[in-house]
Structure 1
């Protein structure tokens, strides 16, 4: 039986209009917590419907952090939740990483234990 060392992984999906963040359990392929600007509760709180900017990303991070705490997973069962920020930025082809870092910082500021991999912990932190 193989145990995945990076069991919980943060995955991001960003477009001009929407931001979605999922935490996946790599042992069984399930999404254990999710937050998105598509949700009415979040979407209605943004000024002028701006659900794709850094403020919206931070709000998604805060909601995801709350949901992880409710599930008891904000500490990633001791090992943390792994995030490869550089990979996420490259995957989306973003020229500006402000939204990604806003979401990551919101998670950290709300008590989520993040393990930044692949050198992304030395990245810009607006």
Structure 2
């Protein structure tokens, strides 16, 4: 069963920074990471007091590129799992657009992203 959800997307969103990690649950290793703390992204977006959805999308694109380098891509079949509702719940309502920007950027960049759905009363 661990193999089915081996790779999981974890997000860390604060007012100033956005970090996205993909974790291999079999060994706890971070497979790939991207963050607005990195020099290239930091200079490109100047988050200052707050990072916006554009910065979040850039983090998603960089993460997707790094995942492809690690061999996780659309044709791979393994996929990266994410429970968007759980991530939004953890981050709060204000980060909804940022969470979706990261998720959509990863998907459109060619990485197989598996959206996990649990029974939430407030799910659409």
Partner residue, 2:13: 14
Where 1:72 maps in the other structure, the secondary structure is coil
Task: Return closer, same or farther for 1:77/1:51 CA change in 2, 3 Å cut-off.
Answer: farther
Alignment partner, residue 69 of structure 2: 70
**Residue 75 of structure 1: how far off its partner (Å):** 4.0
Deviation of 1:5 (Å): 1.9
Contact 1:22-1:32 at 8 Å conserved across structures: yes
**1:50 shift after superposition:** 6.7
Normalising by structure 1, we get a TM-score of 0.85
Please list every run of 5 or more consecutive structure 1 residues that lacks an aligned counterpart in the other structure.
Answer: none
TM-score scaled by length of structure 2? 0.86
Give the direction of change, closer, same or farther, for the CA distance of 1:85–1:48 in structure 2 (3 Å limit).
closer
Tell me if structure 2 keeps the 8 A contact 1:22–1:35.
yes
Q: Distance in 2 between matches of 1:110 and 1:50?
A: 28
1:79 maps to 2:78 = yes
Cα RMSD of the aligned pairs, angstroms, is: 2.3
Counterpart mapping for 1:1-126 below 5 A = 3-47=2-46, 49=48, 52-75=51-74, 77-118=76-117
Distance 1:82 1:76 in 2: 15
| Cα displacement (A) at 1:4 | 3.5
